[in-house]
Amino acid sequence: MKVYGYQAGKKWINYMKIKTTKFTFIFRLLWFVTIISIMFINTENRIMVYSVIAALLILTAITVIRSLESRNQWRRMIEDGDVEVKDKISFD
């Protein structure tokens, strides 16, 4: 007997992996393009300057949101017991 929810869940996870990897690729490419455009920007053209500043602000906001979500996912995994954590990690 097939469990419908399990199969649907498995397909959903595969879909999310593909979608996430495409987003990550595009996101990294946008960072690369932004850094290259900073190197070759015409500082006398206000439109170019403002567009690069806007791109930096948007990419920075997306990066912060992604890092906070990643932290929350790790916390959930640790609380659920999916990940083993030593008693206390110390870097002394």
Its pTM stands at 0.64
DSSP, res 69? H
pLDDT digits (tens, 9 = 90+) for 11-27: 555 655 666 678 888 99
How would residue 5 be classed by pLDDT, with cut points 50, 70 and 90? Answer: very low
Percent of the residues in the chain that have a pLDDT greater than 70, as a whole number: 66
∠ Cα 16 19 20 (to 5°): 80
Cα angle 67, 75, 86; round to 5: 115
User: Mean of the per-residue pLDDT values for the chain?
Assistant: 79
- In this prediction, residue 54 carries a pLDDT of 96
